Amino acid sequence: MTRQAAARGPAEASTDRWAQRGWLLSAIWLVFLGYTIVALVQAGLGPGRLALGYLLIGLFVGVYLFAFIGGNRLDPDARWPRFNALGFVILAAIILAMGALIGLDALFMTPFLIGYACFLLPRPAAWAVGVGCIGLTFALPALAGDVWGYVFIAAIQLGIFVLNMVTFALIQAGNRSERMQADLAVVSERERLARDVHDILGHTLTVVAVKAELAERLIDADPERSRTEIADIRALVRGALADVRATVGGLRGNGLSTQLEAIRLTLGGAGLAVEVEGDHAGHVPDRLRDPLGWLLREAGTNVLRHARASRCRIRFASGSLVIEDDGVGLGSSTAGNGMCGMSERMAEAGATFHVGAAALGGTRVEASW
């Protein structure tokens, strides 16, 4: 598993797969709107009312797919989850309008309403919609004197309701299990690192304490030996510091917010003017925050070490992050480990990466998704 995949966790990876392809599972069933189309054609309507019926069916399909693509409750990065309730109202209104055109045959559209509720509405609302649609499918034909004419629709509704509710529950349970496994893996790794740090510092600090006491006793009697002990202490402390950095490096905050603040302080302290445009909280999905934090860190380091710049601009937009400087640019230099690392991280996170000349005159680093 890649470092980014490990950071995101299997639960988020599974919801990413739903965000990309899960809506197709709902789109497939739209083929059964053919029953409604047949009923519309056989209703003997005039051209105007027939065209209105086709328009309503097209609107039904558009609203249905729009909601599943942008508002599914299994997708943590869903863009329009607040549309779900409004979308349900629109779909219900379309079914009522179709009822005015083709009568009880509009019940052919209610299974889609049940599927919509199961995946896009809260559980109490999904139960209410499922039970309500099944009840109406028995009640309305009975009132019209056709008790058994639409029983098969009720059977379809019941099957869709049970299948979708169970499917949704299983997906949620699987995601919870994956998140628990990821959390346990993090806890286990932290415990290991804590033990390593304890072992490193425990041994080293014990030796430092002994040598410090010895140096203190020898400072008057044997200054040369005392200086030797102090030099050993300095070497031990430096070695311990390097070991601690190597051990706990993976625990340092590398989120986007952390690195943005770090780059402001680092470049600002070096005399560069740092400009930040846009709000990363509103433009960057959760799954990309850590990878983009790494990108900011590496790009900021390159600006500080190599660019000889006086200005750095960081711009967040919908679907992109751009870092530019007014330094010397890339020139004829080839991609080093830093550039390759940034490119690999972005590819693993599902984003594209590009380095080129900046409008400010230096280098432009861009990630887009």
Q: Which residue has the higher pLDDT, 13 or 139?
A: 139
Ranges 126-135, 327-336, 337-346: which has the least confidence: 327-336
pLDDT above 70: residue 73: no
Q: What is the DSSP letter of 327?
A: S
Say if CB 60 and CB 94 are below 8 A apart. yes
pLDDT above 90: residue 90: yes
Q: Average pLDDT for residues 223-252, to the nearest whole number?
A: 73
**Greatest distance between any 2 Cα atoms in the chain:** 116
Question: Distance between alpha carbon 41 and the CA centroid of its chain, in Å?
Answer: 45
* CA–CA dist 134, 153 (Å, integer): 8
Average pLDDT, the chain: 79
pLDDT digits (tens, 9 = 90+) for 156-167: 889 888 988 888
pLDDT of residue 188: 74
pTM exceeding the 0.75 threshold for the entire prediction: no
The amino acid at 243: D
pLDDT of residue 5: 41
332 φ, ψ (degrees, to nearest 5): -100, 10
* Model confidence band, residue 14 (pLDDT cutoffs 50, 70, 90): very low
Q: Average pLDDT for residues 272-286, to the nearest whole number?
A: 82
pLDDT above 70: residue 1: no
Q: Average pLDDT for residues 5-24, to the nearest whole number?
A: 49
pLDDT above 90: residue 54: yes
Say if CB 267 and CB 274 are below 8 A apart. yes
pLDDT digits (tens, 9 = 90+) for 173-197: 877 787 788 777 777 777 766 666 6
pLDDT above 60: residue 16: no
pLDDT digits (tens, 9 = 90+) for 293-312: 888 878 887 887 778 889 99
* CA–CA dist 326, 310 (Å, integer): 7
Closest CA to 316 of 257, 273, 363: 257
* CA–CA dist 157, 112 (Å, integer): 9
Q: What is the DSSP letter of 255?
A: S
pLDDT above 90: residue 358: no
* CA–CA dist 77, 70 (Å, integer): 9
Q: Average pLDDT for residues 334-360, to the nearest whole number?
A: 78
* CA–CA dist 145, 139 (Å, integer): 10
pLDDT of residue 324: 92
Q: How many CB atoms lie within 10 A of CB 185?
A: 13
* CA–CA dist 223, 306 (Å, integer): 45
pLDDT of residue 89: 92
Q: Average pLDDT for residues 275-292, to the nearest whole number?
A: 81
In 222-255, alpha helices (H): 223-248
Strand (E) or helix (H) holding 126:
helix 123-143
pLDDT of residue 199: 58
How, if at all, do strands 320-325 and 363-368 pair?
antiparallel
Residues of the chain with pLDDT > 90, as a percent, come to 14
Q: Which residue has the higher pLDDT, 136 or 3?
A: 136
The CA dihedral of 78, 83, 88, 94, to the nearest 10 degrees, is: -120
Ranges 5-14, 178-187, 328-337, 349-358: which has the least confidence: 5-14
How, if at all, do strands 352-357 and 363-368 pair?
antiparallel
Say if CB 119 and CB 74 are below 8 A apart. yes
Q: Which residue has the higher pLDDT, 203 or 51?
A: 51
Extract the tokens encoding 162.
Answer: 């049970």
Extract the tokens encoding 269.
Answer: 């302290």
Q: How many angstroms separate the Cα of 13 from the Cα of each of 152, 179, 206, 233?
A: 39, 11, 45, 48
Closest CA to 91 of 123, 69, 58: 58
